[in-house]
Amino acid sequence: MAFNKEFVVAVLDIRPCANENLKLKSVKLVSELLKDKICAGKKDFVSFVLLGTEKTLNDVNEHVFPDGYNNITQYQQPQCPTWQLLLNFYKFVNEDACDDGDWLDALVVAMEVIKRGEDDTRNSYDMFDVIVQNVAQTEVELVVISENIQYVDNPISGVPKVIFRDGKKSKHQLKNEDYALQLITNCSAKFYNFEEAKHCIFKTSNKRPWVWNSKLTIGTEINIKISGVIYMKDESNIKLKKCWGHEEELVSRELKSYVRGAEIEPTEEELIDGYMLGSTPIPYDESLKEDKERYEPGLKFVGFMKRDSIPEEYFCGDSLYWIVHQKGMNASAQKLDALVRAMTNTNMAMLCCKVYSNAFNTPKMVVLLPNELHPDRPASLTMVEIAYHSQYQYFQFPRLRTQKTDCTKEQIDAIDDLIDAMDLTINTKECDEPRDTYHSDLLPFESLSHIYEQNVLDVLERKIISNASEDDEQFAEMLDDKNFVEIFWKVPEMREKHAKRAAKVVKSLFTLEENEPDKTTTTAKIKAEFSGTSTATDSSTALSFDSVGEETPADDFRQLIENNVLKIENRTERDAKFQIYAKQIRNVVWSLLFETKESLNFEKLSEALAIYRKYCYDFNSFDDYNNWISEIRTQVVQSKLQNFWKNVVVNKNLGLCFVITDTQESQQALKNFYELPNDDV
Between 477 and 408, name the one with better pLDDT: 408
Select from 84, 101, 123 the last residue of a domain. Answer: 123
- Let me know: does 181 contact 423? Beta carbons within 8 Å: no
Decide if 302 is inside a domain. yes
Residues 323 and 404: their CA atoms lie apart, in Å, by 38
Residues 234 and 605: their CA atoms lie apart, in Å, by 57
pLDDT of res. 4: 46
| CATH classification at residue 562 | 1.25.40.240
pLDDT tens across 248-306, in order?
656 555 556 666 667 777 676 665 555 544 445 554 444 444 566 778 899 998 888 88
Phi, psi of 315 (to 5 degrees): -70, 140
Between 189 and 256, name the one with better pLDDT: 189
Based on the domain organization, do 390 and 531 belong to the same domain? no
What is the rounded end-to-end Cα distance, in angstroms, of the chain? 80
Between 517 and 577, name the one with better pLDDT: 577
Kind of pairing between the strands at 262-264 and 280-283: unpaired
pLDDT tens across 25-63, in order?
888 889 888 888 888 777 788 899 999 999 998 988 888
Decide if 666 is inside a domain. yes
| CATH classification at residue 372 | 2.40.290.10
Based on the domain organization, do 527 and 668 belong to the same domain? yes
Residue 401's pLDDT band (cuts 50, 70, 90): low
Contacts of 42 (CB under 8 A, 6+ apart): 6, 81
pLDDT of res. 8: 86
Contacts of 572 (CB under 8 A, 6+ apart): 403, 404
Decide if 290 is inside a domain. no
What sections of 481-621 are H helices per DSSP?
483-486, 493-509, 522-529, 531-540, 553-560, 571-590, 602-618
Based on the domain organization, do 529 and 670 belong to the same domain? yes
| CATH classification at residue 5 | 3.40.50.410
pLDDT tens across 71-111, in order?
999 987 788 888 888 888 988 988 888 988 888 999 999 98
Mean pLDDT of 474-498: 63
pLDDT tens across 569-621, in order?
888 888 888 888 999 999 998 888 888 777 888 888 889 899 998 888 888 88
Neighbours of 152 (CB within 10 A): 14
pLDDT at 512 over 70: yes
Contacts 24+ apart (CB under 8 A), 416-423: 417/502, 417/505, 418/499, 418/502, 418/503, 418/505, 418/506, 420/502, 421/495, 421/498, 421/499, 421/501, 421/502, 422/495, 422/499, 422/502, 423/495
Decide if 112 is inside a domain. yes
Residues 105 and 184: their CA atoms lie apart, in Å, by 19
pLDDT of res. 370: 93
pLDDT tens across 297-316, in order?
999 988 888 888 888 778 88
Decide if 146 is inside a domain. no
Neighbours of 486 (CB within 10 A): 9
Decide if 364 is inside a domain. yes
Select from 394, 416, 448 the last residue of a domain. Answer: 394
Residues 296 and 13: their CA atoms lie apart, in Å, by 65
**Of 149, 88, 137, 138, residue with least CA distance to 113:** 138
Between 76 and 413, name the one with better pLDDT: 413
Select from 123, 151, 176 the last residue of a domain. Answer: 123
pLDDT tens across 522-543, in order?
445 444 554 544 444 444 446 7
Q: For the chain, how many helices (H) and strands (E)?
A: 22, 18
Between 184 and 662, name the one with better pLDDT: 184
Decide if 286 is inside a domain. no
Q: Which range (191-195, 442-446, 493-497, 629-633) has the least confidence?
A: 442-446
Structural domains of the chain, count: 3
Q: Which amino acid is at 629?
A: I
Based on the domain organization, do 668 and 527 belong to the same domain? yes
Parent domain of 339:
298-394
Decide if 324 is inside a domain. yes
pLDDT tens across 633-668, in order?
988 888 888 888 888 888 888 888 887 777 777 888
Helix axes 522-529, 531-540, angle to 10 degrees: 40
Between 478 and 559, name the one with better pLDDT: 559
